[in-house]
């Protein structure tokens, strides 16, 4: 049976009175788990993870590099790709099956994101669904029954697209100092939001935003972590007063939009609040380590794609009557890039495994601090490895590395994203220095 849709198979199973898990349904698709010739070593991955990789790969094969080249040049959203992943049931990969998700872990979600980037889609393909995987985590865990029943299933089905509104121009990584305020009305029926967000991915195509805003002024709370609240708000109607979206022209990943979002007394319903008022920062922490793992996976995929392209070119390109890959000046940097990616891969899936263990470990032996160290380390290492591989891919191609048709220039433009977002290299080094090495805080 060819890959049609895991979600379609789920519906068929329900109609037949069967209660199958997502992975049981996936096995019925009769995928071969025979290891294909991948640049990345697949040794050590579970059967479930290999099946996810193969199934997602089949979806990605429908979207060749020319598709992504065209969207990058035209700055068009990959709506067909998003629709295909939704149809195949992948947008809710890490959400509970009770909410229409697949009930898998962040490990499987990470390998999905890596597979997407590695297919040639790059960061643009991965970022088009990135928020669906991690931004919905706090919504699924802390959302009201109405939110769980009406919003989450539509996100999983692809009918509703979501973006994540946290970053602000005057706060940057200092999230606790964000200035966007949500003031509750006298009758308690709505909040009025005023402020600005920046670098909000997919806001142009999203109809919902997971918004972090301050509901209690900073000077009125005992701790900066208090007084922040999380909302799931409507942004689909661009004509509503108080909402203004401005697209940012950017270097890479042009197929997905990035935006400044301005709120000016923008009214949102009181029932858009996620969980308890004032607990929003604690809620988003629930998804931060997951996002680090996902972004590390995306960086890995980008790096492996670039390295594969570079090695193929090095084998085929003949100069001075021999393949350029025969020259150690070409071969050694490529070998170095491979080892960096493999090392980052181990760190990435170790972090994802710890995250998943913490959700099923009743003893609490896996501490959140350990997950934070592992996830931040993985994100750092994967981003650096991806940059090394992408830069080397361009240089290996020589002049052709500058040509759009070879893709490596597109991936090189995109590989800067995981070095910068959602947390910079320098802040991760600060984090490790302070939390692990117990060095004095520098900021």
Residue 171 lies in a domain: yes
Comparing 81-90, 186-195, 266-275, 281-290, which segment has the lowest mean pLDDT?
281-290
Residues 317 and 420 both lie in one domain:
yes
Residue 34: pLDDT band with limits 50, 70, 90: very low
- Among 161, 239, 148, 227, CA closest to 200: 161
Residue 127 lies in a domain: yes
Residues 216 and 318 both lie in one domain:
no
Residue 156 lies in a domain: no
Residue 155 lies in a domain: no
Residue 24: pLDDT band with limits 50, 70, 90: low
Residues 73 and 217 both lie in one domain:
no
pLDDT tens string 380-395: 999 999 999 999 999 9
Residues 305 and 427 both lie in one domain:
yes
Mean pLDDT along residues 182-198: 98
**Higher model confidence: residue 244 or residue 1?**
244
Residue 149 lies in a domain: no
pLDDT at 2 over 50: no
Mean pLDDT along residues 351-356: 96
Q: Can you give the C-alpha Rg of the chain in angstroms?
A: 22
Task: Pull the structure tokens for residue 100.
Answer: 């229409």
Question: Which residue, chain included where needed, has tokens 């959602």?
Answer: 422
Q: How much of the chain exceeds pLDDT 70, in percent?
A: 91
Question: Domain of 329: which CATH number?
Answer: 1.20.140.10
Residue 422 lies in a domain: yes
Cβ-Cβ contacts under 8 Å for 207 (sequence gap 6 or more): 160, 161, 162, 234, 235, 236
Residues 179 and 305 both lie in one domain:
no
Residue 44: pLDDT band with limits 50, 70, 90: confident
Question: Domain of 214: which CATH number?
Answer: 2.40.110.10
- Among 283, 173, 189, CA closest to 231: 283
pLDDT of residue 186: 97
Mean pLDDT along residues 149-153: 94
CA distances from 79 to 69, 86, 396 (A): 15, 10, 33
Residues 129 and 183 both lie in one domain:
no
Cβ-Cβ contacts under 8 Å for 261 (sequence gap 6 or more): 165, 196, 197, 198, 200, 203, 209, 235, 243, 244, 245, 246
pLDDT of residue 33: 44
CA distances from 125 to 28, 59, 139, 406 (A): 27, 12, 23, 17
**Higher model confidence: residue 189 or residue 48?**
189
For the chain, what is the domain count?
A: 3
pLDDT at 17 over 80: no
pLDDT at 314 over 80: yes
Mean pLDDT along residues 270-289: 93
Among residues 142, 173, 201, the one where a domain terminates is: 142
Task: Pull the structure tokens for residue 197.
Answer: 């967000």
pLDDT at 362 over 80: no
Average pLDDT in the chain: 91
What counts of helices (H) and strands (E) characterise the chain?
A: 16, 10
What is the distance of C-alpha 221 from the center of its chain?
32
Comparing 10-14, 136-140, 238-242, which segment has the lowest mean pLDDT?
10-14
Angle between helix 6-15 and 79-87 (nearest 10):
30
pLDDT at 339 over 80: yes
CA distances from 54 to 34, 58, 80, 207 (A): 10, 6, 20, 31
Mean pLDDT along residues 327-353: 98
Cβ atoms within 10 Å, residue 118 = 30
Residue 26: pLDDT band with limits 50, 70, 90: low
Task: Pull the structure tokens for residue 372.
Answer: 């934070």
Residue 189 lies in a domain: yes
pLDDT of residue 384: 99
pLDDT tens string 49-106: 999 999 999 999 999 999 999 999 999 999 999 999 999 999 999 998 999 899 999 9
CA-to-CA distance for 121 and 63, rounded, in angstroms? 8
CA-to-CA distance for 110 and 49, rounded, in angstroms? 10
CA-to-CA distance for 377 and 292, rounded, in angstroms? 9
Three-state DSSP at 191 gives strand
Which range of residues forms the domain containing residue 314? 281-435
pLDDT of residue 137: 87
Contact between residue 371 and residue 290 where contact means Cβ atoms under 8 Å apart: no
Residues 334 and 291 both lie in one domain:
yes
Cβ-Cβ contacts under 8 Å for 275 (sequence gap 6 or more): 138, 142, 143, 230, 283
Q: Looking at the DSSP assignment, which residues form a beta bridge with residue 159?
A: none
Residue 19: pLDDT band with limits 50, 70, 90: low
Task: Pull the structure tokens for residue 222.
Answer: 């005992």
Among residues 280, 301, 316, the one where a domain terminates is: 280
pLDDT of residue 404: 95
- Among 12, 20, 40, 172, CA closest to 110: 40
Residues 22 and 108 both lie in one domain:
yes
Q: Looking at the DSSP assignment, which residues form a beta bridge with residue 262?
A: 196, 244
Three-state DSSP at 361 gives coil
pLDDT of residue 133: 85
Residue 4: pLDDT band with limits 50, 70, 90: very low
pLDDT of residue 132: 84
Mean pLDDT along residues 22-36: 55
Q: How much of the chain exceeds pLDDT 90, in percent?
A: 82
Among residues 231, 261, 280, the one where a domain terminates is: 280
Residue 92 lies in a domain: yes
Cβ-Cβ contacts under 8 Å for 194 (sequence gap 6 or more): 180, 181, 183, 263, 264, 265, 266
Contact between residue 154 and residue 147 where contact means Cβ atoms under 8 Å apart: no
**Higher model confidence: residue 205 or residue 13?**
205
pLDDT of residue 29: 59
Mean pLDDT along residues 12-25: 53
């Amino acid at each position: 049976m060819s890959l049609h849709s895991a979600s379609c198979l789920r519906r068929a199973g329900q109609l037949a009175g069967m209660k199958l898990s997502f992975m049981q349904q996936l096995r019925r698709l009769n995928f071969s788990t025979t290891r294909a010739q991948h640049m990345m070593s697949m040794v050590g991955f579970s059967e479930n993870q290999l099946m996810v990789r193969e199934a997602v790969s089949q979806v990605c094969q429908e979207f060749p590099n020319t598709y992504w080249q065209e969207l990058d040049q035209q700055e068009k959203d990959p709506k067909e790709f998003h629709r295909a992943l939704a149809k195949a049931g992948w947008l809710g990969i890490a959400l509970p099956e009770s909410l229409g998700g697949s009930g898998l872990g962040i490990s499987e979600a990470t390998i999905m994101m890596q597979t997407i980037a590695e297919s040639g889609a790059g960061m643009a393909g991965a970022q088009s669904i990135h928020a669906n995987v991690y931004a919905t985590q706090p919504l699924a865990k802390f959302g009201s029954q109405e939110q769980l029943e009406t919003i989450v299933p539509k996100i999983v089905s692809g009918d509703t697209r979501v973006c994540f509104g946290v970053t602000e121009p005057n706060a940057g990584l200092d999230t606790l100092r964000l200035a966007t305020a949500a003031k509750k009305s006298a009758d308690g029926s709505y909040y009025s939001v005023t402020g600005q967000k920046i670098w909000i991915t997919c806001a142009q195509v999203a109809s919902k935003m997971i918004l972090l805003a301050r509901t209690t002024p900073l000077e009125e709370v005992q701790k900066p972590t208090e007084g922040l609240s999380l909302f799931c708000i409507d942004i689909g109607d661009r004509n509503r007063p108080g909402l203004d979206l401005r697209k940012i022209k950017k270097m890479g990943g042009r197929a997905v939009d990035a935006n400044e979002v301005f709120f000016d007394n923008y009214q949102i319903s009181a029932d858009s609040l996620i969980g308890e008022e004032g607990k929003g920062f604690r809620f988003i922490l629930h998804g931060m380590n997951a996002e680090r793992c996902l972004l590390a996976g995306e960086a890995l995929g980008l790096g492996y794609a670039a390295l594969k392209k570079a090695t193929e070119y090095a084998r085929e390109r003949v100069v001075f009557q021999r393949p350029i890959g025969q020259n150690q000046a070409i071969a050694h940097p490529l070998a170095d890039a491979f080892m960096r990616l493999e090392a980052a891969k181990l760190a990435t899936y170790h972090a994802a495994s710890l995250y998943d263990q913490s959700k099923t470990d009743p003893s609490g032996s896996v501490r959140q601090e350990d997950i934070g160290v592992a996830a931040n380390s993985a994100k750092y290492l994967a981003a650096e490895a991806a940059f090394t591989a992408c830069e080397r891919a361009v240089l290996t191609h020589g002049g052709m590395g500058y040509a759009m048709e070879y893709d490596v220039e597109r991936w090189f433009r995109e590989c800067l994203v995981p070095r910068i977002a959602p947390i910079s290299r320098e802040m991760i080094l600060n984090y490790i220095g302070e939390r692990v090495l117990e060095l004095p805080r520098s900021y």
